[in-house]
Structure 1
Amino acid sequence: MTTLNGSILISRPVEEVFDFVADERNEPAYNPQMRSVEKTTPGPIGVGTLWHVVTTSRRRATPFELEVTEYTRPSRLGSMTRMASADITGTLTFVPHGRGALMSWSWDLRLKGMLKLATPLFALLGRRQEQRIWSRLKVHLESGG
């Protein structure tokens, strides 16, 4: 297992950042690898909400399920992602910071099968990928998207 941590300051109200990130259907707007997102449970977003997601990397589609495991608006959002190759659990935290929000992430990545041997490489790539994704979110929200 490896942990990926980071944070980013977004110049938007904390409630706005939380609400936008909590709705996975918004992620394709700032994550170019996200191909489709479908909410598969009824009702409002909260603990127990399930999402069916498909991402692409190097022209390969990767489907997975994402479950909301914690939902404390507007401060904490936890999730569990189940993929064929890995499980990822973690939390996003949102803290008011001046007129903006400091959003932090902490993900525990557990690779499966032979991929366990590549954990250090996946950790390095994962840290870079997370920073890119959340930097795009920042640009998207701050530009009024």
Structure 2
Amino acid sequence: MSATVNGSISIGRPVEEVFDFVADQRNEPTYNPRMRSVEKTTPGPIGAGTLWQVETTSGRRTMSFELEVTEYARPRRLGSRTRMATAEITGALTFTPETNGTRMSWHWEFKPKGLMKLATPLFAAVGRRQERRIWSSLKAHLEAANKP
């Protein structure tokens, strides 16, 4: 059993800037308060095959997981696979130029493991809210960085 989470947001910054900022996972703690730490564990520039070790919080729990860049087509598409003890998440972000900035869209497939499969509908609902909150915070961060 799996669940899909989709959405999009308009960000008032150029597409290359949004892509580059999001592609470097080390930036995520600046706009995602649940993100505790991110470490790039592979050498070289960011691209397909780059691995990140991530530590995040959920309530009072701390979770560690690996995130792999599966697709890197700058500045249009960034695919990833997240491997957690409770689920695997695959999908991509797409970046489309707009008149006043960038339309960033997301498409994720959540595949819960073990007993988490029973909570798939809840997992999807929480995932939708979290994604909207994270990307709205990214939008606010990037747009504020451009104000005098």
Mapped to 1, the partners of 2:52 and 2:10 lie a distance apart of 26
Mapped to 1, the partners of 2:108 and 2:58 lie a distance apart of 20
SS at match of 2:107: strand
Mapped to 1, the partners of 2:122 and 2:69 lie a distance apart of 27
The aligned residue for residue 112 of structure 2 is: 111
Query: Which residues of 2 match residues 49-88 of structure 1 at below 5 A?
Result: 49-88=50-89
Task: Output the TM-score relative to the length of structure 1.
Answer: 0.99
Task: Output the TM-score relative to the length of structure 2.
Answer: 0.97
Mapped to 2, the partners of 1:97 and 1:18 lie a distance apart of 14
Amino acid at match of 2:114: G
Amino acid at match of 1:94: F
Mapped to 2, the partners of 1:59 and 1:52 lie a distance apart of 20
> Can you give the 5+ residue segments of structure 1 that lack an aligned partner in the other structure?
none
The aligned residue for residue 121 of structure 1 is: 122
Identity among equivalent positions (%) equals 71
Measure how far apart 1:99 and its partner are.
2.6
Q: How many residues align?
A: 145
Measure how far apart 1:59 and its partner are.
1.6
The aligned residue for residue 89 of structure 1 is: 90
> Can you give the 5+ residue segments of structure 2 that lack an aligned partner in the other structure?
none
Amino acid at match of 2:10: L
